[in-house]
Amino acid sequence: MWDLEAGVVETQSFKCRSAILGLHMEDNMIFGCGFDQLVYSIDPRENTMKKRKYHRGPVLCLAADENYVVTGSEDKTIAIYDRRAGTVYKTIQLESYPMSLNLGNRQLWVGDKTGGIHVYNTTCGQFKHIESCDVGHTGKVTGIIYTPGALFTCCTDTTIKVLEPSLNPGTINTLTSHEGEVARISYQNGVLASAGSDVSVRIWRPKDTWY
């Protein structure tokens, strides 16, 4: 962990057993998932770490809210861990393993290895499958972010797609400036950032923010 206000000074570090493939951070908790098939929960206040195993393959992606920690694995399952009950509440079986997750707005969006997109209704904890669709990706969907204004996806096919935030989403725009696989995207305050295997980070701003 780094303190940005102090000039990016390292404040804490935590040693895990393998590469960490997904992270979710809250004010007082960090969740991580690893190649070692484990899900880590870290309390930075107490400098303590708990490990849980409920997958049979590397855990590739993770998302969380106040009720659940959702993880996706190479074992082609998504596990929904109930934070209050302290146990796996539900397991979803997929045909192709998940690469990216986004949880929020009573929805779970999933991007998979073959370029497919899946959406589940999480109202009242049901995690009911609503739709699977093809949005034109030809590789692994390495990132997916839902907002009320747009659905963003990135892929190993070197593209980022801006999609309609609806069922069977149409394409608003396809961004093609990366020369290699797009590994991750992040969206905040109207700004989209992307990181690629071409050793670059791209920043995308809405046109109306330029003067």
**Euclidean distance between the first and final Cα of the chain, in Å?**
35
Question: Taking Cα atoms as reference points, which of 106, 180, 114, 101 lies closest to residue 145?
Answer: 101
Report pLDDT for 4: 86
Domain that residue 87 falls in? 13-93
Note whether residue 28 is domain-resident. Answer: yes
Q: What is the pLDDT of residues 162-207, one digit of tens each?
A: 999 999 999 999 999 999 999 999 999 999 999 999 999 999 987 7
Mean pLDDT of the chain: 95
Helix (H, G, I), strand (E, B) or coil at 123: helix
Note whether residue 64 is domain-resident. Answer: yes
Note whether residue 135 is domain-resident. Answer: no
Note whether residue 73 is domain-resident. Answer: yes
Report pLDDT for 210: 47
Question: Taking Cα atoms as reference points, which of 68, 153, 86, 90 lies closest to residue 118?
Answer: 153
Q: What is the pLDDT of residues 22-66, one digit of tens each?
A: 999 999 999 999 999 999 999 999 999 999 999 999 999 999 999
Note whether residue 7 is domain-resident. Answer: no
Q: What is the pLDDT of residues 156-169, one digit of tens each?
A: 999 999 999 999 99
pLDDT at position 15 over 80? yes
How many domains does the structure of the chain reveal? 1
CATH number at residue 34: 2.40.10.480
Note whether residue 142 is domain-resident. Answer: no
Q: What is the pLDDT of residues 84-121, one digit of tens each?
A: 999 999 999 999 999 999 999 999 999 999 999 999 99
**CB-CB contact of 29 with 47 (8 Å):** no
The reported pTM is 0.92
Report pLDDT for 208: 65
Q: What is the pLDDT of residues 115-166, one digit of tens each?
A: 999 999 999 999 999 999 999 999 999 999 999 999 999 999 999 999 999 9
Note whether residue 153 is domain-resident. Answer: no
Supply 55's token pair. Answer: 């997958």
Note whether residue 5 is domain-resident. Answer: no
